[in-house]
Amino acid sequence: GAQLGLEFQMGLLPRTQVGVHRTSDRTTSLFAQYNLLQERDGHILGLSLHGAIDGTNNFRDSYTPTLGVEVSRKLGLVAAVYAMPQWVNNTNPLPAEVVDHNSTFVVGLGTRVRVLRSTYLVLEGSPRVGGYKPGVNHVAFGVEKVVGGHTFQLNFSNGVGTTPGQVARGGGSNSDWYMGFNIARKFWR
């Protein structure tokens, strides 16, 4: 079967957003982000603080908190690059008294490149540089089409994880690939 996810994000205050993401395996992630620096304000980079907590079984079991920063840079009107170092706790599913490493340090890397007026290629990877590192590093690529306020994305990945905890646990293998489809809609006030 498919891994389904539904996410809702809302900007509560200027430069701040909060959201909730729930997957079909009943993992729920609550997250918040605060933009410290924005390129449109004349800064050379965008810089945001990010925090999240995943909970399995509809946020009743096995909590996985995440803290990180997101650095972004636009390259003209055709591309953007991103780096997101983050600490993810409670990534090892074994009981805490059995394991030495129960946290993972991940550096998410990504890019989005415009190839046509409203079509983009995307690539992301999440190398785990410290702590608990089972499986293989999560890697994904895809194509996006922007139509009005909607973004449609067809993607391919070596894992089905969509929350910070799931991505930190890595992909299944480099020989198993999964196809996904995302639809996003922005509403402006």
Looking at the predicted structure, is the pLDDT value of residue 94 above 80? no
Report the pLDDT value the prediction gives residue 169, as an integer from 0 to 100: 87
Looking at the predicted structure, is the pLDDT value of residue 61 above 90? no
Report the pLDDT value the prediction gives residue 40, as an integer from 0 to 100: 87
Q: How confident is the model at residue 41 (pLDDT cuts 50, 70, 90)?
A: confident
Query: Which one has a higher pLDDT value, 49 or 91?
Result: 49
Of 66-75, 91-100, 130-139, 157-166, the range with the lowest mean pLDDT is 91-100
Report the pLDDT value the prediction gives residue 98, as an integer from 0 to 100: 53
Q: How confident is the model at residue 83 (pLDDT cuts 50, 70, 90)?
A: very high
DSSP the chain: ----EEEEEE--STTEEEEEEEETTS-EEEEEEEEEE-GGGT-SSEEEEEEEEEEHHHHTEEEEEEEEEEEEEEETTTEEEEEEEEEEES---S-TTT-S--EEEEEEEEEEEEEETTEEEEEEEE-EEEE---SB-EEEEEEEEEETTEEEEEEEES----SHHHHHT-BS-SS--EEEEEEEE----
Q: How confident is the model at residue 99 (pLDDT cuts 50, 70, 90)?
A: low
Q: How confident is the model at residue 49 (pLDDT cuts 50, 70, 90)?
A: very high
Mean pLDDT of the 135-146 span: 94
Report the pLDDT value the prediction gives residue 160, as an integer from 0 to 100: 87
Looking at the predicted structure, is the pLDDT value of residue 47 above 80? yes
Which residues are CB-contacts of 85 (< 8 A; sequence separation ≥ 6)? 68, 69, 105, 106, 107, 108
Mean pLDDT of the 65-86 span: 96
Report the pLDDT value the prediction gives residue 183, as an integer from 0 to 100: 92
Mean pLDDT of the 8-33 span: 93
Q: How confident is the model at residue 55 (pLDDT cuts 50, 70, 90)?
A: very high
